[in-house]
Amino acid sequence: MNEFDELVENILHNCIEDIEKKIIQQESIVGLYYITEYMKQGFSLSSKNKMMIDKLVFSFKTDRSMVNYLSTDIRYLITHFFLASIQNIKHEKKRLEEFFSIYIIFENYENIIENKELIHLLFPQEKLSEYLKHLYKAFKRDKKFMQRDYIEQEKMIFKLFYITLFIYERSKEPFYELFNYLYKIFDEAIKLKLDELVLYLYVPLQFSCCGVSKSQEEFKEFNEKVEKRVEEYVKAELIPRFKLEAVDKQNVSSKKPLKIAFVQERLMNYSIHNVFYQLLQELKKINDVQIEITVIDLNFPQMNGSNYFTIEEMKQLRLPLIDAQEKFIGEMTPFYSPVQKCLKLREYIIEQNIDVLIGLHSQVEYNFLFTTRSAPLQIYWSHGDSEYDIEGIDKKISHFSQKTRQKEFETFLLPIDMNKYNPPVDNKTVEEIRQQYPKDAFILGYIGRLIKIENDQYLETIATIMKQNKNTIFLACGSGEDDSIRQKVDKLGIGERFYFTGHIDPHLYGHVIDLYLDAFPLTSGESLNEYMAKERVPIILLPKNHESLSFLTENRGDKRIHAKSVEDYINLANVMINDNRLRQSVAEEVVRHFNTVSYTYSKGSFINTLNKIMKWDIQ
């Protein structure tokens, strides 16, 4: 017996033992994977091992318990796939069709997520497009999908999109392919007037497009392809079907107290919530006779809903907090009626006589509420997507200048809690982190989602800066798929000096990074503010149409952090890298800016914005 046959025999014996114990071990599946890989290279099985394979495959067809396990335990399904592939390696394509025909209706979602490493044996991250292609083909083979109950439809969409999201890192090209697959379903659902499916598809479409978006052009594409079509569907189908009457768009300027409802998609510890929470803390200081605030948490269950600790933090503000999923659906299930949730939420808002409805995102509930006119004044608060635009929005606000459509927005300042932006850290820990990297290196870096730095022009700019400054390294700090970026920086000749840290504590790494090179065209969020609050200097590329471009870049020499072009960005970075005294001086100005913003906000920037919008006099 040769070495390969002996290896195969040991793996098959382990597999038989696992099946008898009804617990298939990961080692057995990995072993089967390697057998298939060897056979693709021309290795063949002994007659004894072939008989063992035939016996195992037969048991999967005839043993009732084994057949049941195929649709309930992903380890059995993958084991069967590898065994059948080994039995006839030339028919692997057919085996894949058989695998996905079961996988598409597999409902033990936790089991899939827990065993995602085994799915990656079949389709590693770099083969995500191939995985999606097979999955969509299996989906299309269900000729009765459009006639199924909406809950059954949601389960298949959940498999197609959400499970993919949970087991793979998001990367642009594969997820945009997924967007195109989902869009075909969306288009058909609209034609067939399938209300629940149309609304349920909104978030998968948004995340597969805008979740990996790199530019306002892509936000605009989503707005035109999806947002506007949902708006038209609500107008043409849902408003007449449910006999929905618009709330009077009356003048609420003299009404006291003014009732304001903020609608948040989820309460969780990320930049949007942190900004929102800071605002609520300040609004709490206003007399209740002036305004009443309600927070509505959509508690979006498809993405695991809101975070317990963030909810508890919000409760400490002692503001009315409505869990829309619990109140209007009654359970935290990803399979429910989005139409009923929207209808009941709208009814609640009207019953509560909400005067001002403020949406913080682009979610399907916002589209429904805005389009059906659920409050006298309806406001969109942008946290980055300035292309979001439907008719039901009366006013648009943001806490920073928008890259496009700035004239449509009222901009207000947010309070800055320096203790939160720059909390005390252990300097010893900071030094230990720095010691992990080359001694005396000048550390460039970025903190945030890696998708934002995948842009070719940005990486080419970083490479130029690093080649002109041989003592530099770059820390890419954050979560996300990094294979594409690794390939690009290797080709640019900086791969050995480009480090991926994974998820980190931004308050520690804010003291590790010497110069923050902000991403473009999609820029950093709160992580950039947190960095600057530590008396640190970033370089930021402003878009050509930025309203403050001239003010921030002209007649200021090198003592600035904003660049007007890529060339200017490179020059500013070179100056900051090589002039420690100038960098420290600019850092002190940055902190003074933060203190100025805090002082300005103490005069009520958000309230001033509301007063301007409504011509009111909230004090």
Predicted local distance difference test score (pLDDT) of residue 29: 94
Do both 371 and 282 map to the same domain? yes
Residue 174 carries which DSSP code?
H
Predicted local distance difference test score (pLDDT) of residue 173: 87
Q: Report whether pLDDT(603) > 60.
A: no
Contacts of 32 (CB under 8 A, 6+ apart): 11, 15, 79, 82, 83, 86
Of 395, 415, 435, which residue is a domain's last?
A: 415
Contacts of 356 (CB under 8 A, 6+ apart): 252, 258, 259, 260, 261, 375, 376, 377, 378, 379, 610
Predicted local distance difference test score (pLDDT) of residue 599: 47
Residue 334 lies in a domain: yes
Domain around 281: 258-415
Of 392, 415, 438, which residue is a domain's last?
A: 415
Do both 272 and 379 map to the same domain? yes
Taking Cα atoms as reference points, which of 375, 371, 340 lies closest to residue 357?
375
Residue 567 lies in a domain: yes
Q: What is the mean pLDDT of residues 417-429?
A: 86
Residue 515 lies in a domain: yes
Q: What is the mean pLDDT of residues 54-63?
A: 86
Averaged pLDDT score across all residues of the chain: 89
Residue 537 lies in a domain: yes
Residue 234 carries which DSSP code?
I
Do both 2 and 83 map to the same domain? yes
Taking Cα atoms as reference points, which of 362, 407, 398 lies closest to residue 220?
362
Do both 436 and 558 map to the same domain? yes
Of 122, 148, 183, which residue is a domain's last?
A: 122
pLDDT digits (tens, 9 = 90+) for 290-327: 889 999 999 999 988 999 999 999 999 999 999 999 99
Do both 409 and 495 map to the same domain? no
Of the candidate ranges 346-350, 410-414, 519-523, 539-543, the one whose mean pLDDT is the lowest: 410-414
CATH number at residue 594: 3.40.50.2000
In this prediction, residue 609 has a pLDDT band, given cuts at 50, 70 and 90, of confident
Predicted local distance difference test score (pLDDT) of residue 81: 93
Do both 351 and 428 map to the same domain? no
Do both 365 and 272 map to the same domain? yes
Q: Report whether pLDDT(403) > 80.
A: no
Query: Strand order of the sheet with strand 515-517?
Result: 498-502, 472-477, 442-447, 515-517, 538-541, 562-563
In this prediction, residue 602 has a pLDDT band, given cuts at 50, 70 and 90, of very low
CATH number at residue 327: 3.40.50.11380
Of the candidate ranges 290-304, 557-571, 584-598, the one whose mean pLDDT is the lowest: 584-598
Residue 559 lies in a domain: yes
pTM of the predicted model as reported, rounded to 2 decimal places: 0.83
Q: Report whether pLDDT(74) > 70.
A: yes
Do both 371 and 441 map to the same domain? no
Contacts of 56 (CB under 8 A, 6+ apart): 12, 15, 16, 19, 83
Let me know: does 572 contact 552? Beta carbons within 8 Å.
no
Do both 402 and 459 map to the same domain? no
Of the candidate ranges 118-122, 346-350, 528-532, the one whose mean pLDDT is the lowest: 528-532
Residue 321: strand pairing partners: 295
pLDDT digits (tens, 9 = 90+) for 357-382: 999 877 899 999 999 999 999 999 99
Q: How many domains does the structure of the chain reveal? A: 3
Contacts of 326 (CB under 8 A, 6+ apart): 299, 332
The dihedral sign for the CA sequence 306, 312, 315, 316 = negative
Residue 36 lies in a domain: yes
Predicted local distance difference test score (pLDDT) of residue 21: 86
Do both 497 and 475 map to the same domain? yes
Residue 161 lies in a domain: no
Q: Report whether pLDDT(279) > 50.
A: yes
Residue 615 lies in a domain: no
Q: Report whether pLDDT(120) > 90.
A: yes
Do both 524 and 377 map to the same domain? no
Over pLDDT 70: what percentage of the chain? Answer: 93
In this prediction, residue 272 has a pLDDT band, given cuts at 50, 70 and 90, of confident
Q: Which of 62-66, 255-259, 389-393 shows the highest mean pLDDT?
A: 389-393
In this prediction, residue 65 has a pLDDT band, given cuts at 50, 70 and 90, of confident
Do both 405 and 552 map to the same domain? no
Q: What is the mean pLDDT of residues 573-601?
A: 81
